[in-house]
């Protein structure tokens, strides 16, 4: 079975409330559990960054569904690669709404997310995107 990891960015069509974010998360968890997809979703100032990983056909199907979702736009594929093992295996979908406190605690990464996620930098440095996702994945409880 070929495993794929995909990272993308997008912008919400409007600022989302905590309830709206919770609905997105619950829907993603339900879908991902059925598809055996794992990953992490970050939200900052109206922007999303997400990593999904799993069997290639399931990732392609999931990404297509994501691209059709009308709650966001400007979807940018940052990186897609074959992986030997999952890096976010604990999560059908981990989630973190990034805050000022996250910026204060992580000053090295703060410039890349404090005013929304810096798409230009993520595109030119896909490892930066992955590192940011991994950083906030570590702070979540299973």
Please tell me the distance from the alpha carbon of residue 72 to that of residue 141, in angstroms, as a whole number.
27
Phi/psi of residue 82, each to 5°?
-80, 135
Complete domains list, the chain, with CATH: 3-138 (3.30.70.100)
- With beta carbons less than 8 A apart as the criterion, state whether 63 and 8 touch: yes
Q: Residue-wise pLDDT tens for the chain (142 aa)?
A: 899 999 999 999 998 999 999 999 999 999 999 999 999 999 999 999 999 999 999 999 999 999 999 999 999 999 999 999 999 988 888 899 998 899 999 898 888 888 889 898 899 988 999 999 998 887 654 3
Q: What is the pLDDT of residue 23?
A: 92
Q: What is the pLDDT of residue 141?
A: 40
- What sign has the CA pseudo-torsion 36, 42, 48, 50? negative
């Amino acid at each position: 079975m070929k495993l794929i990891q995909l990272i993308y960015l997008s912008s919400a069509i409007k600022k989302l409330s905590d309830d709206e974010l919770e609905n997105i998360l619950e829907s993603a968890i339900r879908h991902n559990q059925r598809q055996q997809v794992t990953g992490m979703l970050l939200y900052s100032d109206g922007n999303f960054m997400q990593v999904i990983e799993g069997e290639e056909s399931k990732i392609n199907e999931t990404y297509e569904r994501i691209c059709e979702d009308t709650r966001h736009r400007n979807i940018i594929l940052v990186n897609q690669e074959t992986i030997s093992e999952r890096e976010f295996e604990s999560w059908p979908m981990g989630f973190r709404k990034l805050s000022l406190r996250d910026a204060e605690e992580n000053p090295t990464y703060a410039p890349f997310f404090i005013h929304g996620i810096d798409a230009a930098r993520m595109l030119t440095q896909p490892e930066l995107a992955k590192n940011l996702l991994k950083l906030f994945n570590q702070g979540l409880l299973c």
